[in-house]
A and B are shown apart, each in its own frame.
Chain A
Amino acid sequence: MNKFLKNIFYLLPIIFLVSSCEKEISVSLSDAKQQFIVEASINQRFQSLNYVFISKSIDYFNPDLSMGGIKGASVFITEGKIIGADTLYTGTPFQMIDIGTFPGADSLFKGFSGIYFSTTLIGKENTPYQLKITLADGTKISGTTFIPKVVPIDSLSYVVKNEDVNKDGFNDAYPTLYFNDPSEQNNYRLARYNNVDSLMLGWGSADSYRTFDDQMINGTQRVIFYPNQFKQGDTVNFYLNSIGRKEYIFWQSFGTAANNGGPFATPVQLKSNITGAIGSFTGYGCSYKRIIMK
């Protein structure tokens, strides 16, 4: 909401002056201390979305624009059990394997590095997980998460507007998603993936994300309307994920950081739930549905 306001006020000076001016300048910045970065995900439905990405931060003006992944780490995810007030991670650790070690990975996944997969790991609802990483230099990174109960997408619908013929000669289409928020406190991360009918490799493959909680809608039906333009005939895939509160707080701060910039930019600190690195280990209770807007 506030972000929306900000966007509007961005426009103001532009409207005011038709356009503001800009020029390229040179800026010298002090070097940052290097920090380790981890993005780890586990869900109960899609194996390709169970992965651990490990990297290192670099100086801002370093011209390296690659992912900067770290190879050669040993990465394990262990399923846990909740017994009373305790959580015990006594299961067999699943070893996650560097995707770069798969034959032909370089040409299959151009630019991927530092991503660890498992061919056997699949998560379970209402289950805790532990992540343990040991880097080649001996640095240890760890974290825990929990896959909450899945909140199913109730239904998807769409409207095709025949009267609004857009420039390409297609009719506009608007999808709407419905789900019922359970009575307990829930946090969501909703990903939308347009058209391509295949598995996602990493949550970053999606076309849009929303991170929200049920502060205003607890226990009621929630309707999510997409005013974005789609064309008649488009396919839209929705992944409604139920996530934990700590993970929600991380992804909220991440959303702020990812949309930061301009005159009103403020330094954003990510609220990590990982020890030894910046980032999050997130358990997703994933519900998936697809709609073709014929």
Chain B
Amino acid sequence: MPPKKVLLAPLDPVHDIALKIINRGLRDAGYETVILPPDLPPEEIIQAIIDEGAETVLISRTLGYGVAEVLARFIDLTDAAGIRDRVRVAVGGMAVHPELAQELGFDAGFGPGSTVEETIAFVDGREYVKKFNFERKREDDLSAGYSYEVRHNRIRELLGRITPLILGWAEGLTSPGVQRAAVREELWDVKKWRDHEEPEEFFAEYPKYCEESVRNFYEKGLLHPKTRLFSQKDVEKLKAYVRRSRRDLQTPHLQHKLIKPVIFNQYGTGCPYMDIAHIKASEAYGADGVIHFDPSWGARTEGLYDGFLTHQEDGTVITPANLNRIYRALEYGTLWQVRAHRGLNSPETVVLAGKIGANLTKINICYGSLGAGTDPARLTVDAIAAIKYAVQYQMPFDVVTNEELCGVPAHKALAGMLIVAHLGAALGGRPILQPLFCFSPEVMIGGQMDDNYVDFNVAKIMALRAIMDAPIWPGAPIGFLTQTEDRVQSSASTAFHASLAAMLEVDAISIASADEAYSGGPITVASRIDTLRAVSEGFRFFGHSRMQVSAQATEWAEKMIEGLERVLQAVAARGDFVQALYDGLLGSREEGAYPGRAGVNTVVKK
């Protein structure tokens, strides 16, 4: 059968772009088309339809004034010419909508936002079925394809000395955190728990390793002061909300034509319901992954609570029910990271996240112990256990350098990150390097960002790539301390940093919301959407364009590597990684890093 012949005609003095796009789509789909120039009188268009023997006619009218009269007259003319019965006629334009088209006698009308596919469906004479993107997004292991080879000879040798030092030091040591993780691992079966089977043995054993406030919960039912339990009725309402949110949900590809970076949004409003609302909005606006942020007191508390809990301040409490409910609300393909990097529940959080179904976790020693308040010895013992569980549950984990925000210079923070990453890889893990893209105290004082926010961040990526073949996920969030409370400035800043990350072809980024710098209240969902939209626009603007790395960035990268090597040399020479943390080799008190106190003296021999 010969292809259907379609005639396209702008019934407009000037505008014909939309018709040209549709013409290309139709031709690609195998149709024979004839496209007429703008500004022809209707009579000429009618004659062309007759001469060409077109079966379908697509008229466009961009200008809004007089649209009804012009289009009605055109239909009258097709009647008068005796072709109306054998030709299907549709109209499209900014002032057109299906009801108007029908009223004027057209077979179809396409308004703003219509797609080429819709028009082709009309030409085919079939109903248009809107395509929803239910395909799995790139879920994937961000660490795939990386060898973790240390490319820099001297640094390879130093890391090769430090990793056995750490493992040797930790040999035979344990902590309440490690013990709780073992109880969770052995006595808490997620399948049985999901089948509402009470883990009695777990509840009998677990509180023994918790501090008093958490024991009071398990033994006396006392909740943390800022929390309350949801009711079953609440749960049913939440399920209905998630169903509604899913009904028409599309998950767009934010990166335009790029493959990387994967975009992560952090949630943690305190309330799992509100978190889910943030997650559903993030998914709808193209976030590829979400990160669970827990309250800071949770990191300083020995033990995890239980039950479906809401919390009145920042950070959503880690409990099996909270994580499970959030996990169940995620779209197929949304990556989910549960952070476990800074406190007293690190290994158990990894176990719980792994059992419930997280894709990724976050493990750290240097930031957690120098910038987040946990005792270095305790976090070292716990992090080793956490890494082993991450290996068991096949979760890659990022290693962040947030101690930079305390004032630790980048080269020291990167040295600490590489020590933990090398340790992680040696234990069979898949660490992801998470340098900060930030306006840190170091550069505020040193002036490295006086001219631009680009070169120093580029230097970090260059340095890391020169040292190790590992995935890179700048965070967290990108643009830290560059954003203000101004929605536009904040979104723009994030978008610029995201575009820089894309040009550097990093694997993933964590982005802020437009409320990043606002501390007066909770982040709103609208602010989150604004930033996702801005990032999307950045990717659209730059596409595959690439920047030229400046001589300054190259010079700073070289200096960073030199400084980093000196730090590793000092740690190796100390012969004791944990002592190096206490002694400030990876960030000193003068630089704003203080060895944490939470969990001090809790490391014991097995």
> Is B a genuine binding partner of A?
no
